[in-house]
Structure formats: C-alpha cells, structure tokens
Amino acid sequence: MAQGALAIEAPRVRIRAARRLGPAARAWLLLLPSIFFLCLFTYWPIVQVLLQSLRIETFGSDSVSYGLGNFERLFADADFSGALINNGLYAVGTIVPSIVLALALAVGLQEATRLNALLRTVVFFPVLLPLVAAAALFLFVFLPGIGLLDYYLAKLGAGQTNWLGDPGIALWSLVGLTVWKNAGYYMLFFLAGLQAIPQDLYEAARIEGAGAWARFRRITLPLLGPSLAFVSVIALVNVITQVDHVVVLTKGGPSGSTNLLLFYIYQTAHESYDYGKAAAATVVSVTLLLGLSFVSLRTLERGVHYEAA
C-alpha cells in the first residue's frame, strides 16, 4: 500500500520540481548577460582592488608578499589624514547647506504657478551643466580682482579675495560651487516628495490652529522622511565620487588644503605609482562610504512615517 502511494506521489513531485525549476532557470538565463558584465566590470575589479591593497611590492625586486603593510603606510601618511579631514569638512559643508537650501526652495516653489515654474527652471539650471564645465567657468568667477565674484563684491565695497589661492578659503570656494551645483538637483526630489503629502492633513492642521512653522515641522518634514533619506545618501555618495572641480580648479592645493579622498587616490596611483597604497585608500574610502550610507539610511528610515493607505 505504502509503496503504491509512493509510486503515485513521485511523478507529481517531479512535475512540481520541474515547474519550480523552469522559471528559475529562465530567470538565470535572462540575468546571465548582466551578471557577466557586472562580474567583468564591477565584481572582478573589486576583488582585484582588495588583492592589490594586500599585495606588498618593493622597488627593484620582483618578490611579492601579502599583508596589511599598505594600510599601515596609508594611516601613517599625513596627506591621507589631511584628505580625510578635508573630505569630512567638505561633506558637512556641502550636504547640510545644500539639503536645507533644497528643502527651502522646494517648499517655497511648491505651488504650481507660472512664476514658480520659471524659478524652478532657474534653480535647476546648474544641474544641467557637467561639473567639469561648471568648474571651468568658476575658474574665471573666482579670479582674484578680475573675476565675476570680486568684480561685483568690489561694487559693494569689499576687497579682493584670492578664492582658490588662499588655503583657508579654497576648500570653502569648492563647497560653494558644489552647493550651487547640487541644491537644484535635491530640490527636485523634495518637490516630488511634497506632491505625495495628502492635502487633508494640512487642512486638519489648519482647523486645529497650527501655524506655518508647526505645519512644516509636524507634517511636511516627517512625511518627507523617505526623500530626505534618499537625498542624504545621494549627497554622501557625491561627496566621495565627485572630484572634477578639484582637478580643474586646484589640483588639491594650495598646500594640500583642497585635497579630497578620490583625488588623493588618483595622485597616489598615477603620480606616485604606489598602487598598493592607492588600493588600500580605495578600500578604506569605499568601506567608509558604505558604512555611512547604511547608518544614514537606517537612522533616517527609522523615523520615517509612511502613509497608511
């Protein structure tokens, strides 16, 4: 009896297995080209960088050993800690103001009037420029004395400033350029987020007698949580991955005051030919970036209030 039952069961199981395997196999087949290219251009290079960061080569000998020597040298390098600090300042200096500015612009230009549409376009315009082009333009904006900035500041009675040549100012000039460039982009995400907030919440708040600030604080800001989390991560990634303006405007100078991590990696690899140290710096900065993105997503999303319906 038992044997008969099994004999009947077996084909059914096989059919179910075939059905289950069918779509899976098809899925893998469809994914295969992407996986191939991802492996070739993303995962394989990542493995190579990890290996390179552990490989220790000495000039004039072919012997290779593996260890943490590159990381030790990296952490002992004052230029690396300098770039790390600069990148930290640059992160705080660009992320906070550009998000605040983007939020203010989004709330201010929320109503779909014709004037607002025009103003949105104006604010969004810098996003359309490639960073390299923007930096090349700002080279002339920042020229001491003759540049656009000094020219108009002089009309207001201000003196000459060497925006890129003074080590105390240069990094903040780059910060200014970045905020100008990115605020419009982030505004776009906030505008989209604002559209999703139901109007009846504001009406209810008005009936309860809540002022504009209270409405912003209690309704807009919490409900923009997902947008805020997303924009923060994008901004964080931008801080590490965008260096075009450093290359065009300062090359990390004067006296290393505008050197950022990615440019440090470039210099170490291609000017000092120290591939081991450059790979170690890459590993450290990518780890840092992943960690920060993870933390900011977790903390910001915990406070997120998703719409119930």
Partner 1 sequence: MQLLSLRGLATAGLAASVALGAGLAAAQAKTEIEMFFPVPVEGKLAKEMQSLIERFNEAHPEIKATAVYTGSYDETNLKTRAAIKAGRPPAAVIMSANFILEYQLNDEIQPLDPLIEADGKTPDAFMGQFWQALHGNAQFAGKVWAVPFQNSTPLLYINATQFRAAGLDPDHPPATWAEWLAAAEKLTKREGGETKRWGLMIPENYDYLGWIMTALTMSNGGLYYNPEYGGEVYYDAPTMLGALSFVDELAHKAKVMPAAITDGKAVSTAFFAGQASMVVLSTGSLSFVRENMKDDYRVAFVPRNLRNAVAIGGASLMMPKGLSPEKQKAAWTLMKWLTSPEIAGQWSRFTGYFAPNKAAYDLPEMKQFIDSHPDAKVALDQLKYARSWFATYNTVAVRKALEDQVQAVITGDAKPAEALKAAQQKADELMKPYVDSTALKLPAAM
Q: Is residue 37 involved in binding partner 1 (CB under 8 A)? A: no
Classify residue 236 by burial, with Cβ atoms within 10 Å: 0-12, 13-18, 19+: buried
Q: Is residue 225 involved in binding partner 1 (CB under 8 A)? A: no
Whole-angstrom Cα distance, residue 114 to residue 18? 59
**Sign of CA pseudo-dihedral 199, 204, 209, 215:** negative
Q: Is residue 126 involved in binding partner 1 (CB under 8 A)? A: no
Tokens of residue 233, six digits? 């991560």
Binding residues for partner 1, total number by CB under 8 A: 40
Residues 89, 139, 153, 210: which binds partner 1 (CB under 8 A)?
139
Q: Which residues of 54-90 are buried (b: 16+ CB within 10 A; e: fewer)?
A: bbeeeeeeeeeeeeebbbeebeebeebebbbebbeeb
Q: Is residue 159 involved in binding partner 1 (CB under 8 A)? A: yes
Whole-angstrom Cα distance, residue 78 to residue 60? 26
* Cα Rg of the chain, angstroms: 27
Residues 2, 5, 41, 200: which binds partner 1 (CB under 8 A)?
41
Q: Is residue 241 involved in binding partner 1 (CB under 8 A)? A: no
Whole-angstrom Cα distance, residue 256 to residue 264? 10
Q: Is residue 166 involved in binding partner 1 (CB under 8 A)? A: yes
Closer residue to partner 1 (CB): 244 or 301: 244
Tokens of residue 34, six digits? 């992407």
Neighbours of 177 (CB within 10 A): 22
Q: Is residue 298 involved in binding partner 1 (CB under 8 A)? A: no
- Amino acid (one-letter) located at 112: A
Residues 4, 11, 23, 60: which binds partner 1 (CB under 8 A)?
60
Residues 20, 26, 206, 270: which binds partner 1 (CB under 8 A)?
270
Q: Is residue 254 involved in binding partner 1 (CB under 8 A)? A: yes
Closer residue to partner 1 (CB): 128 or 154: 154
CB of 168 to partner 1, least distance (A): 8
CB of 55 to partner 1, least distance (A): 12
Residues 17, 18, 45, 151: which binds partner 1 (CB under 8 A)?
45
Binding residues vs partner 1 (CB under 8 A): 40-41, 44-45, 48-49, 52, 58-61, 139, 143-146, 159-160, 162, 164-167, 251-256, 265, 267, 269-273, 275, 278-279, 282
